[in-house]
A and B are shown apart, each in its own frame.
Chain A
Amino acid sequence: MIQTKKNKTGAFLGLVAAVVVLALVVVLENTLPSTSQLFIVLKKGAVYSLVAVSMNLLNGFTGLFSLGQAGFMLLGAYTYAILTVPVAQKDTVYYLYGGSALNFSLPDLFGGVDTPQGLILGVALAILLAGCVAALFAWLIGLPVLRLKSDYLAIATLGFAEIIRAIFQWQALGPVTNGANMITQIPTFTSFNIKNADGEVILRLSAFVPFLVAILCIAVIVMLINSSYGRAFKAIREDEIAAEAMGINLAKHKMLSFCISSFFAGVGGALFAMYASNAQAKVYTSTMTYEILLIVVIGGIGSVSGSCIATFLYVAASEWWLRFLDSEMWIFGVKVPFLRTGFRMVVFSIIIMIVVLFFRRGLMGDKELPDLFRPRPKKTARKAGEHNG
Chain B
Amino acid sequence: MAENILRLEDVTMQFGGVVAVNNLSLEVNRGEIVALIGPNGAGKTTAFNCVTGVYEPTNGRVSLAGEVIVENHPQGKMKAMYQGENNGKYTGVVRLTPDQITRKGIARTFQNIRLFGALTVFENVLVAKHMRAKQNFLTATFRLNRAEEKRMREESMALLEEQGLAHLKDEVASSLPYGLQRRLEIARALATDPKLLLLDEPAAGMNPQETQELTDFIRQIRTEYDLSVFMIEHHMDLVMQISDRIYVLDFGRLISQGTPEVVQNDQRVIDAYLGVADDAED
Contact = CB atoms under 8 A, between A and B. Distances in A.
B174 A388 contact: yes
B175 A385 contact: yes
Give the size range of A's interface with the partner: 35 or more
Interface string B138-167: 001111000001101100000000000000
Interface in A225-266: 227-229, 231-232, 234-235, 238-239, 241-250, 256, 260
A229 B137 contact: yes
A384 B180 CA distance: 14
B277 interface: no
A245 B197 CA distance: 12
A276 interface: no
B116 A242 contact: yes
B183 to A, nearest CB: 16
A256 B175 contact: no
B65 to A, nearest CB: 17
A319 interface: no
A248 B130 contact: yes
B114 A247 contact: no
Interface in B157-202: 170-172, 174-176, 188, 192
Contact of B117 (A227, A238, A241, A245): A238
The interface size bin for chain B is: 35 or more
A387 B176 CA distance: 12
A366 interface: yes
A228 B99 contact: no
Interface stretch (B75-83, B102-110, B210-218, B243-251): B102-110
A23 interface: no
Interface string B200-226: 000000000000000000000000000
Contact of B192 (A3, A235, A247): A247
Q: Is the interface of A mostly helix, strand, loop or mixed?
A: helix
B50 interface: no
A228 B174 contact: no
A180 interface: no
Given A234-B119, A244-B99, A246-B127, A228 B133 contact: yes
Given A223-B141, A244-B98, A385-B172, A231 B119 contact: yes
Contacts of B130: 228-229, 231-232, 235, 246-248
Contacts of A381: 171-172, 175
B174 A239 contact: no
Given A232-B130, A381-B171, A245 B102 contact: yes
Nearest to B129: A228
Contacts of A224: 137, 140-141
Interface string A360-389: 000000100000000001001110110010
Contacts of A242: 110, 114-116
A388 B135 contact: no
A244 B96 CA distance: 12
A220 interface: yes
A244 B140 contact: no
B111 to A, nearest CB: 11
A232 B127 contact: yes
A243 B127 contact: yes
B132 interface: yes
A247 B142 contact: no
B280 interface: no
A321 B58 CA distance: 64
A248 B100 CA distance: 8
B14 interface: no
B126 to A, nearest CB: 6
A239 B116 CA distance: 6
Interface of A: 3-4, 220, 223-224, 227-229, 231-232, 234-235, 238-239, 241-250, 256, 260, 302, 366, 377, 380-382, 384-385, 388
